[in-house]
Structure 1
């Protein structure tokens, strides 16, 4: 067995152990799994509103967790710069630590196309598998979220996310207390699919705020059944990308054309915080990333256990 096959075998063995350990809960989790369909043909970008309703609803709901950085912000070793979006709190044209969803506006063959963008909430999120500190979780409903209280902003999650979703704000987070000059750099922020509302069997605010009913959440098997019916006459995105996601887009315009329009729009501009619509394979299929996930797993487990102990102590106070 060579080195590469060893790593693959180790990772698959670890995965098999996890699957076996959780097999008893698999049916219950599957029953709780949620997904959403975003109908691009229905979205008009809320042209009658100053701010798209899904964007404003998301910002209002999450305002209480928006970062308040401690200044002056000092870069951590060996970095010479840091990411600070505290002066861009009103920027709704891209993903930021203060804006978890945005509307991509494109013109394709004289047609205006509006696309709500946010975290795809992957079935097998590489951000979760490759977080060295184990602070990214996935709920039974399928929501992928970052624990802001323990994230140190290393940004590995953004590096491995095919869409570059998580965004970092410096000058906040636990790293300021435990390792301000050695590691970290802030906290990573992104959409958590309104996990608290889903847990209470309530709809995420982007759906309830949408005046065109362009965003629809439901049980994952039901959403996928609808999507499979829709793809007979329109184009689908999200079912297979990155190994499968909980966010399905449907459109009368094919997604290759949409992605070309996005690339053209940002040809000479920064693409930071901007999501493409390419077909992405899961980076964990790469043997090096798979090996890294295997090596990181014990560290992440230790980190998660430490966090659980700290939380338990806080709850008892």
Structure 2
């Protein structure tokens, strides 16, 4: 039996390494697929749905994804080496930031000239997403339509995706996920959650919930070729954000107010070095080569062994259940 376990561990470790190497190769170019979709968000159109208790895009996203929100096992306990845990389960109605229960929010930005800008914020869906590269378990993938999505059945909650994300988008909920089965007191931390670009809708050629429910038509989803034409049409004399940031993203913002001005106003309301679940509009240069180095270092980390342990345990459980049925 010991030899059999050793064989399984070795085989699974090799499989994981091969899969990670393949993911590195696939994402290395950062070239969008022919089926890539783009969201264009017009900040001059968005009014934050001031006549509603909850902005329409936020409400639509929450309604569509509520069955996928985490239900943590309680009581929650800290996990080594952390002394705390991230728990938003008692803040499910919070809409002023990104949380595991709120995948899009509307940032109200008060400018120095007295004007107000409303900016819907969620995952940018980078063409060459660093979060996808750095995940040691391959929990993050990108669809043909460009949806960068986290698989909750594979995510270990290590939050490296958030660390490498220029906008620190993914948010963690403790008390759910693989770490509970592997080492609940030792590592992990839950599952990371974020907008998935309504991947299932785009795959079927349908509009994502946030866009289809926007009363001001401030959020558009278009195939890449049509999006470029639309951008040329509406961006004349205005400013664009997201087209080149971090090597290119699938979320393009258009505004008559310079994004440097919007960023300056946002920074006045944020504490430096604190992840408050609010993305800003900083000028993000590509960190693709750096993220590749991080990814390789992650693959060599001891945490991989925990993933192997889980896979071995799951396989043995499935085999035992199959034997019981025979």
Which TM-score tier does this pair reach, normalised by the shorter chain? 0.7 to 0.9
Structure 2 residue 174 is matched with structure 1 residue 167: no
| Structure 1 Cα separation of the partners of residues 144 and 63 of structure 2 | 25
| Structure 1 Cα separation of the partners of residues 82 and 273 of structure 2 | 24
Task: Identify the range of structure 1 (164-173 vs 266-275) with the bigger mean alpha-carbon deviation.
Answer: 266-275
1:24-62: CA deviation from partner (whole Å, max 9, x where unpaired): xx8xx7321101100000000011111100000000111
C-alpha contact (below 8 Å) 1:40/1:251 kept by paired residues: yes
Deviation at 1:269, TM superposition (A): 10
Match among 32, 53, 56 for residue 53 of structure 1:
56
Structure-1 residue corresponding to 2:98: 95
| Structure 2 Cα separation of the partners of residues 160 and 16 of structure 1 | 17
Matches within 5 A, 1:223-262: 223-262=227-266
| Structure 2 Cα separation of the partners of residues 20 and 238 of structure 1 | 19
Deviation at 1:17, TM superposition (A): 9.0
C-alpha contact (below 8 Å) 2:27/2:133 kept by paired residues: no
C-alpha contact (below 8 Å) 1:141/1:199 kept by paired residues: yes
| Structure 2 Cα separation of the partners of residues 20 and 270 of structure 1 | 29
Structure-1 residue corresponding to 2:86: 83
| Partner SS for 1:30 | coil
Structure-2 residue corresponding to 1:158: 162
Structure-2 residue corresponding to 1:7: none
- Structure 1 gaps of 5+ residues are 1-13
- Taking only aligned residues, the RMSD between alpha carbons, in angstroms, comes to 3.1
1:298/1:223 CA distance change after superposition, 3 Å: farther
- Structure 2 gaps of 5+ residues are 1-20
Match among 90, 104, 108 for residue 105 of structure 1:
108
Structure-1 residue corresponding to 2:25: 18
- Length-normalised TM-score, structure 2: 0.82
Deviation at 1:268, TM superposition (A): 8.1
Deviation at 1:15, TM superposition (A): 8.3
C-alpha contact (below 8 Å) 1:129/1:297 kept by paired residues: no
Aligned residue pair count: 292
Matches within 5 A, 1:1-150: 18=25, 30-108=33-111, 109-150=113-154
| Structure 1 Cα separation of the partners of residues 259 and 212 of structure 2 | 26
- Give the greater-gyration-radius structure (CA): 2
